């Protein structure tokens, strides 16, 4: 199994949970995967997965280590919050194009580049597998997250297309759409006031635990009749 973004606070939990379940796991991340909290036995590689050449190299490295890849978990990405227009900061009235591009690149481009490469790997080697893409509850349109919401909506659309195209080859595509997860990146992207409001509006009155998201990933990997779906894990919160 290959976990993209496996050095992150959520990706490392996903990789660890799959490893604990007995899977052979490799992670690829643009950060140093060795700096994370990955268990012994999880192979770690470093690459910019939005760069096709680097992603191809990383996939060759992972294939050399794991052999055939039947599971890809596209967990790479970064939350970004920025209003479309603000009247409180005259120096920056509009959403910046550079932050738009960076958010699309880290969330959508990575999923596309690595997903297409792994799909080719599976198809040419006649592997029946699954691609699990990470979306977000924000895909439905979360105020203050134009770029992030657009990227995650794109991930969900791409997942449905792949399910239709790749299904006849025995390859499934599923999206996981977490709500707000108790990770350092969530706390960095949202103020304490925003987080308190989200907890108040969530019927379960809390953020998700990273392991709860990892358990959902394992579920969609193991259920061979889930494809083309977006599985929401948001504690009942619908934006």
Q: Which of 112, 148, 162, 180 is catalytic?
A: 148
Distance CA 9, CA 209 (A): 11
Question: In the 8-state DSSP scheme, what is residue 6?
Answer: T
Using DSSP bridges, classify how beta strands 130-134 and 26-29 pair: parallel, antiparallel or unpaired. Answer: unpaired
Active site residue 148: yes
Q: How far is CA 97 from the centre of its chain?
A: 22
Distance CA 88, CA 188 (A): 21
Closest by CA to 72, choosing from 6, 169, 20, is 6
**Which residues carry out catalysis?**
148
């Amino acid at each position: 199994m290959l976990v993209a973004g496996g050095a992150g606070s959520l990706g490392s939990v996903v990789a660890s949970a799959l490893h604990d379940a007995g899977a052979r796991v490799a992670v690829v991340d643009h950060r140093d995967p060795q700096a994370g909290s990955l268990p012994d036995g999880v192979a770690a590689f470093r690459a910019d997965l939005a760069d096709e050449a680097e992603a191809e190299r990383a996939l060759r490295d992972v294939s050399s280590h794991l052999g055939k890849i039947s599971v890809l978990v596209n967990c790479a990405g970064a939350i970004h919050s920025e209003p479309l227009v603000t009247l409180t900061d005259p120096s920056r009235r509009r959403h910046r194009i550079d932050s738009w591009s960076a958010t699309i690149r880290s969330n959508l481009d990575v999923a596309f580049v690595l997903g297409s490469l792994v799909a080719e790997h599976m198809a040419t080697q006649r592997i029946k597998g699954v691609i699990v893409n990470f979306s977000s509850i924000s895909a439905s349109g979360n105020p203050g997250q134009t770029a992030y919401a657009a990227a995650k909506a794109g991930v969900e659309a791409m997942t449905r297309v792949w399910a239709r195209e790749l299904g006849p080859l025995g390859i499934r595509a599923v999206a996981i759409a977490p709500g707000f997860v108790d990770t350092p990146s969530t706390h960095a992207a949202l103020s304490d006031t925003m987080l308190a409001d989200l907890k108040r509006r969530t019927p379960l009155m809390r953020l998700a635990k990273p392991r709860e998201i990892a358990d959902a990933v394992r579920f969609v990997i193991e259920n061979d009749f889930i494809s083309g779906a977006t599985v929401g894990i948001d504690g009942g919160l619908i934006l």
